[in-house]
């Protein structure tokens, strides 16, 4: 059986978010539900954007961010009330977007590794948009 492997880039994280697993995140196996890992990554991404001065993923004029793909690699179980740290890494900047990697840690150990492909989209025309200048300036990678 082949497995997905998320290879974190060898760069410093652009942001570290915090999250505490809630009872709503727990499944019938009494551990963190796999679908909640994507929600935790979304929460970390939102915390990062807010730290840069944006309201949300649509706060770039007519353009906003959209997830184009996602991958998860599970390493450890998470349980109710576990305190998590999520390191975010921005890599592969392009004219239209970037890859965002996530290292969700529990007690300093990797619990889940994740990746989302992020693309800018003009939500009026529904067409791909170039990375907004304000985003480039605040992130400083382009």
| C-alpha to C-alpha distance for 117 and 45, rounded to whole angstroms | 12
Give the SS3 label for residue 110: strand
In angstroms, the CA 90 to CA 140 distance is: 11
Report whether pLDDT(111) > 80.
yes
Structural Rg of the chain based on CA atoms:
16
pLDDT band, very low/low/confident/very high, at 140 (cuts 50, 70, 90): confident
Q: Is the pLDDT of residue 142 over 80?
A: no
Output the CA torsion sign for 69, 29, 103, 88: positive
Taking domain 15-139, whether its CATH number is 1.10.10.10 is answered by no
Q: What percent of the chain is predicted at pLDDT more than 70? A: 100
Domain extents in the chain: 15-139
Tens-place pLDDT, residues 7-64: 999 999 999 999 999 999 999 999 999 999 999 999 999 999 999 999 999 999 889 9
Q: What average pLDDT does the segment 88-110 reach? A: 98
> Mean of the per-residue pLDDT values for the chain?
96
């Amino acid at each position: 059986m082949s497995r997905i492997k998320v290879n974190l880039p060898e760069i410093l994280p652009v942001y570290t978010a915090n999250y505490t697993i809630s009872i709503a995140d727990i499944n019938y196996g009494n551990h963190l539900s796999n679908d909640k890992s994507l929600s935790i990554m979304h929460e970390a991404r939102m915390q990062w954007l807010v730290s840069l001065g944006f309201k949300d993923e649509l706060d770039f004029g007519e353009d906003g961010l959209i997830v184009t793909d996602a991958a998860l690699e599970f390493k450890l179980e998470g349980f109710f009330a576990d305190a998590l740290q999520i390191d975010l890494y921005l890599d592969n900047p392009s004219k239209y977007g970037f890859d965002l990697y996530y290292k969700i840690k529990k007690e300093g150990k990797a619990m889940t590794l994740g990746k989302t492909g992020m693309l800018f989209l003009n939500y009026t025309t529904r067409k791909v948009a170039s990375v907004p200048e304000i985003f480039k300036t605040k992130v400083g990678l382009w």
